[in-house]
Structure 1
Amino acid sequence: MEKQNLSLTMEDIEEAESLWKRFAPFLANEFPETSDTNGIIESPLKEISRFKGRLFPEVPGNFYLKCDHELPIAGSIKARGGIYEVLKHAETIAKEAGMLHDNDNYAVFSENRFKNFFGQYSIGVGSTGNLGLSIGMISAKLGFNVYVYMSADAKQWKKDLLREKGANVLEFSGDFSEAVATGREKTNANPNGYFVDDEDSKYLFLGYSVAALRLKKQLKEKHITVDADHPLFVYLPCGVGGSPGGITFGLKKVFGDYAHCFFAEPVHSPSVLIGLVTGEMDEVSVQDFGIDNRTEADGLAVGRPSRFATTVSDQLISGIYTMEDHTLYRLLAALADSEDIYLEPSATAGLVGPQRVQPYINQITGDKDVTHIAWSTGGSLVPTKDMEMFYNKGKSLIRKG
């Protein structure tokens, strides 16, 4: 593990949480959907016992869904990392320009003088979809010129929504790595440009890590204990590895060895799995092994893992499992039927976790009281017609057996 990654501490997570709190007045002003939480971006934790009883009743423990598909503003887990990094950058350059001081109420970021100031700067990001949405929405709202470099896997509705929100969308016929490489080059050529690098970003990582502090509070509210006799198992959909890596880092800092985290990747895009198994980390891609990186799970369609996140995850995760696209659709339909919760396909990857890792669970838990959490990652902004198509495909696959 690189020294810079080892240097991250609980204090870094707490400082990230402090930044979220500083910006809460601005977020509450600009995004009405956050008014009920006073500008805090967070998602509920819901028990999905009917789903568990339908699919794998034999697995011990209670099953919950961390509903990041309901996160306000961006409707996905990327609201945590993407919005955090843009806010961090905005705070930094505003302070450097003498426009912002330590005791200021951050509602001032809604003022035209700030938006005019940020209009001198640009922000770029490469994305398969959801990260681009989070970066595009918050950057445009602050006044930045934002450019989102979208891979071929990105859904059309996400491109349309970004343009509607004021972002510049550039489309590529290649995959995620090509979009990132091009975006990085173009953005860094501008002296006032800032590139949010999903392949190598400490700030994205820290933005995600704050979720662990929020989850700890939610578990306490539900009277759920996490300790040696009450282990926690968490299942996280994984693309480039930044969001599941950041959340895992936070969970390990909060719960230590009592938290067991697993990544879930598509069979055709197992970038983090290959990086870890080979030991080559970001120096190897799935294409190097003849894997095509083509999956309908657009948020997970990544051929090369994050440099920063993967070196951390290597030390922290308990395992990785993979799945075919048809399984994602079946899970989507089953969750909708049993719990009336609708996710996009990539966000369902964690739902089969308890079944996939059951031998591991049985080996270490015995008669212990187990809690399982599948982390949903997107879905609330999906257009109705697209969601109906996803659901119907899942139902058709279930009927075929």
Structure 2
Amino acid sequence: MKNERKHDLLEQFPLLKSMAAKNTVLWENTNWVKQPETSLFTMQEVKEAEETLQRFSSYLKVAFPELEESNGLIESDILEIPAMKSALENKYGVLIEGQLLLKSDHALPISGSIKARGGIYEVLKHAERLALANGKLQVTDDYERLASAEFQSFFQQYTIAVGSTGNLGLSIGIIGKKLGFNVVVHMSSDAKEWKKALLREKGATVVEYEADYSVAVEQGRQEAELDPMCHFIDDENSKDLFAGYAVAALRLKGQLENMNIPVSVTHPLFVYLPCGVGGGPGGVAYGLREIFGEHVHIFFAEPVASPCMTLGLMTGLHDAISVEDIELDNKTEADGLAVGRASKFVGKVMETYISGCYTVTDEELFTSLGLAIDSEKLFLEPSAHAGMFGAIRLSQKGQHYLAQRGLTKHMAQATHLVWATGGSMVPDSMRATYLAKSRDLV
């Protein structure tokens, strides 16, 4: 970005100065509206995704025995974490009004992260599309048939490719290889070695890059375009991924009802979602706003070095601006969030949907990691801990937001939901490394 343009942006958006200095910020979205609309996506696509996943439930039970108990449903529980709430309050000297809950997507079956929804759904939908088009399947069939040697052989003709910092690649690699596809995962320099090793163990081809996420995605996209038998799963632009993530909102409604947790003007719901390129949190946020309307308040959480969605939404430039343009280095231990340029598709949808964004330091992520283990015996990977700071940022910097929305008097009845995006697949050796780093900080 030319210095003149950068100067103009800094003048227009004073918060950029704090972001450029790697200070933590809370950005309020002034484009938020009570009844958001978008022409880029519909709830019908979410409902179709749920129906597709239901058709595949019999296959998933056979392919992944851990899904037998849930009848083929890939879903996670909501946990109460009162000890973590107290630990955060004591550590950071804040009062978190209301209850603190955890949406435990770190424990999602198959691939142990939020990507188990969108990523697995897109692969399943692609497999269904191919099988239907080739006369090998009808939607009225029992999809358990897809676990047969016949279908394994059929899918081996095709390749699935994806660019990833880690978790999306894992979900694509695991389900893709299970079905029989060839899988190529283009991984950025931020991807953890254990994720690459696990993918190779599953039989996927891993292509490594010294550059960041955006380069890995672009290279993967270009290579896939040269192969008519290859389907590229585009984390920046895929509506199928987005729909798969949004399914979570349909299910969350029932989970909250079963826990007798109301969502209303007097019982506001706050949801905190770690954000990289934007697909996962964007899909969830879309579904939640469509279901709960103005009574759900959604904040995306990003590292101070990689606040690409905050930057894109604040300036309205979306993918036309990167964190490097304000001289940030995009280097963070939160590998899934190490993205320098946000998805334009997701950003455009989110313009009127989310309440805002906030940033966190790596030090905060590791401090929270230690607190969660000590207080709740709960392990999440560092990037997932970005969600833990939503209620803290609101307490520290969000009084204007709460007052403007008329929420201040209702906060005692608020529900704060931290979306835990990954962690259960992390090997023990890596967990020990993370914990040691946390102990050093504390």
Mark yes or no: TM-score above 0.5: yes
What is the DSSP-based 3-state SS (H/G/I as helix, E as strand, rest coil) of the residue aligned with 1:37? coil
Q: What residue in structure 2 maps to residue 257 of structure 1?
A: 294
- Using the TM superposition, give the Cα deviation of residue 362 of structure 1 relative to its aligned residue in structure 2, in angstroms: 5.6
1:383 aligns with 2:427: yes
1:151 aligns with 2:219: no
Q: What residue in structure 2 maps to residue 198 of structure 1?
A: 235
Distance in 1 (CA, whole Å) between partners of 2:407 and 2:314 is 26
Q: 1:374 aligns with which of 385, 406, 418?
A: 418
Q: What residue in structure 1 maps to residue 126 of structure 2?
A: 89
Residue type of the partner of 1:136?
G
Q: What residue in structure 1 maps to residue 63 of structure 2?
A: 30
Q: What residue in structure 1 maps to residue 74 of structure 2?
A: 41
Deviation track 1:292-347 (CA, whole Å, cap 9, x = no partner) reads 11111000000111121111112211010011111100011101111111011001
Counterpart mapping for 1:67-82 below 5 A = 67-82=104-119
Distance in 1 (CA, whole Å) between partners of 2:323 and 2:41 is 29
What is the DSSP-based 3-state SS (H/G/I as helix, E as strand, rest coil) of the residue aligned with 1:315? coil
Unpaired segments of 5 or more residues in structure 2? 1-30, 32-36
Distance in 1 (CA, whole Å) between partners of 2:124 and 2:274 is 25
Q: What residue in structure 1 maps to residue 440 of structure 2?
A: 396
- Using the TM superposition, give the Cα deviation of residue 371 of structure 1 relative to its aligned residue in structure 2, in angstroms: 0.5
Whether contact under 8 Å (1:5, 1:308) holds in the other structure is no
Q: What residue in structure 1 maps to residue 45 of structure 2?
A: 12
Distance in 2 (CA, whole Å) between partners of 1:284 and 1:7 is 21
Whether contact under 8 Å (1:68, 1:76) holds in the other structure is yes
Distance in 1 (CA, whole Å) between partners of 2:75 and 2:367 is 27
What is the DSSP-based 3-state SS (H/G/I as helix, E as strand, rest coil) of the residue aligned with 1:223? coil
- Using the TM superposition, give the Cα deviation of residue 7 of structure 1 relative to its aligned residue in structure 2, in angstroms: 4.6
- Using the TM superposition, give the Cα deviation of residue 385 of structure 1 relative to its aligned residue in structure 2, in angstroms: 1.2
Deviation track 1:17-36 (CA, whole Å, cap 9, x = no partner) reads 11111111111100111111
Residue type of the partner of 1:163?
R
RMSD across aligned positions (CA): 1.4
Deviation track 1:272-307 (CA, whole Å, cap 9, x = no partner) reads 111112211112211122111111100000011112
Distance in 1 (CA, whole Å) between partners of 2:195 and 2:66 is 19
Residue type of the partner of 2:301?
A
What is the DSSP-based 3-state SS (H/G/I as helix, E as strand, rest coil) of the residue aligned with 2:56? helix
Q: What residue in structure 1 maps to residue 12 of structure 2?
A: none
Distance in 1 (CA, whole Å) between partners of 2:365 and 2:344 is 27
Q: What residue in structure 1 maps to residue 218 of structure 2?
A: 181
1:311 aligns with 2:344: no
What is the DSSP-based 3-state SS (H/G/I as helix, E as strand, rest coil) of the residue aligned with 1:224? coil
Whether contact under 8 Å (2:308, 2:340) holds in the other structure is yes
Whether contact under 8 Å (2:360, 2:389) holds in the other structure is no
Q: 2:87 aligns with which of 54, 60, 63?
A: 54
Distance in 1 (CA, whole Å) between partners of 2:42 and 2:218 is 30
The structure, 1 or 2, with the larger RCO (C-alpha pairs under 8 Å, 6+ apart) is: 2
Identity %: 52
Distance in 2 (CA, whole Å) between partners of 1:361 and 1:204 is 32
Q: Which moved more, 1:379-388 or 1:353-362?
A: 353-362
Corresponding residue pairs, total: 396
What is the DSSP-based 3-state SS (H/G/I as helix, E as strand, rest coil) of the residue aligned with 1:210? helix
- Using the TM superposition, give the Cα deviation of residue 367 of structure 1 relative to its aligned residue in structure 2, in angstroms: 3.0
Q: 1:215 aligns with which of 244, 247, 252?
A: 252
Whether contact under 8 Å (1:233, 1:371) holds in the other structure is yes
Whether contact under 8 Å (1:184, 1:197) holds in the other structure is yes
Q: What residue in structure 1 maps to residue 26 of structure 2?
A: none
1:172 aligns with 2:216: no
1:276 aligns with 2:313: yes
- Using the TM superposition, give the Cα deviation of residue 5 of structure 1 relative to its aligned residue in structure 2, in angstroms: 5.2
Q: 1:340 aligns with which of 377, 389, 404?
A: 377
Deviation track 1:74-123 (CA, whole Å, cap 9, x = no partner) reads 00000011001111111111111111112101111101111111111101
Q: Which moved more, 1:309-318 or 1:360-369?
A: 360-369
- Using the TM superposition, give the Cα deviation of residue 10 of structure 1 relative to its aligned residue in structure 2, in angstroms: 2.3
1:245 aligns with 2:295: no
Q: What residue in structure 1 maps to residue 176 of structure 2?
A: 139
What is the DSSP-based 3-state SS (H/G/I as helix, E as strand, rest coil) of the residue aligned with 1:381? coil
Per the normalisation by structure 1, the TM-score is 0.96
Distance in 1 (CA, whole Å) between partners of 2:173 and 2:247 is 21
Distance in 1 (CA, whole Å) between partners of 2:42 and 2:327 is 38
What is the DSSP-based 3-state SS (H/G/I as helix, E as strand, rest coil) of the residue aligned with 1:137? helix
